[in-house]
A = this chain, B = another copy of it.
Amino acid sequence: MSETHIRPVPFRGGGFRPVAKRGVGLIVFVTLLALIEWGTRTGWISNLTLPQPSDVAMTLVDLARSGMLWTHLAPSLSRLAVGAVLGVSAGIGVGILIGLFSHVRAGLIPLVAALFPIPKIALLPLFVIWFGIDEASKYALIALGTFTPTVVATYGAVDNVDRTLIRMGQSFGLSWLSIVRKIVLPGALPGILSGMRVSIAIGIILLVAAEMLGAEFGIGAYILQAGALYDLERLFAGVVILSALGVLTSWVIGRLETRLLRWRT
Are B208 and A122 within 8 A (Cβ)? yes
Tell me if A86 counts as interface (CB < 8 A to partner B). no
A227 touches B106 (CB 8 A): no
Whether the Cβ atoms of B18 and A100 lie closer than 8 Å is yes
Q: Check if B121 sits within 8 Å of A243, measured CB to CB.
A: no
Please determine whether A16 and B243 come into contact, CB atoms closer than 8 angstroms: no
- Establish whether residues A114 and B243, one from each chain, have CB atoms under 8 Å apart when the complex forms: yes
Contact indicator B18/A117 (Cβ below 8 Å): no
Residues of B within 8 A of A119 (CB): 204-209, 220, 223, 242
A123 to B166, CA, bound (A): 48
Contacting pair B239 A118 (CB below 8 A): yes
**Are B16 and A118 neighbours in the complex by a CB distance under 8 Å?**
no
B18→A242 contact, CB < 8 A: no
User: Is A66 on the interface with B (CB-CB < 8 A)?
Assistant: no
User: Once the chains bind, are B107 and A25 in contact (CB under 8 Å)?
Assistant: yes
Contact between B232 and A114, CB atoms less than 8 A apart: no
Contact A99 B18 (CB under 8 A): yes
Interface residues of A in 193-210 (CB under 8 A from B): 201, 204-209
Give the chain B neighbours of A133 by CB distance below 8 A. none
A102 — which chain B residues lie within 8 A by C-beta? 18-21
Q: Which residues of B contact A220 (CB under 8 A)?
A: 119, 122
A89 contacts the other chain (CB 8 A)? no
Query: Which of A55-63, A244-252, A255-263 forms part of the interface with chain B?
Result: A244-252
A52 nearest CB across to chain B (Å):
15
CB distance from A229 to the nearest CB of B (A): 9
Q: Of the candidates B113, B209, B230, B238, which one forms a contact with A250 in the assembled complex, judged by CB atoms under 8 Å apart?
A: B113
Answer whether residue A116 sits at the interface, using C-beta atoms and an 8 A cutoff: yes
A124 CB contacts on chain B under 8 angstroms: 227
User: Could you say which of A34-42, A136-144, A167-175 contacts chain B?
Assistant: A167-175
Q: A163 at the A/B interface (Cβ < 8 Å)? A: yes
Q: Is residue A48 contacting chain B, with contact meaning CB distance below 8 A?
A: yes
Confirm or deny: A12 has a beta carbon within 8 angstroms of a beta carbon on chain B: yes
CB within 8 A of A16: which of B29, B100, B110, B245? Answer: B100
Check: A88 CB closer than 8 A to any chain B CB: no
Interface centre among A23, A27, A184, A209 (most CB of B within 10 A): A209
- 8 A-B pairs with C-beta separation under 8 A: A19-B105, A24-B107, A25-B110, A113-B246, A114-B247, A119-B206, A125-B227, A126-B232
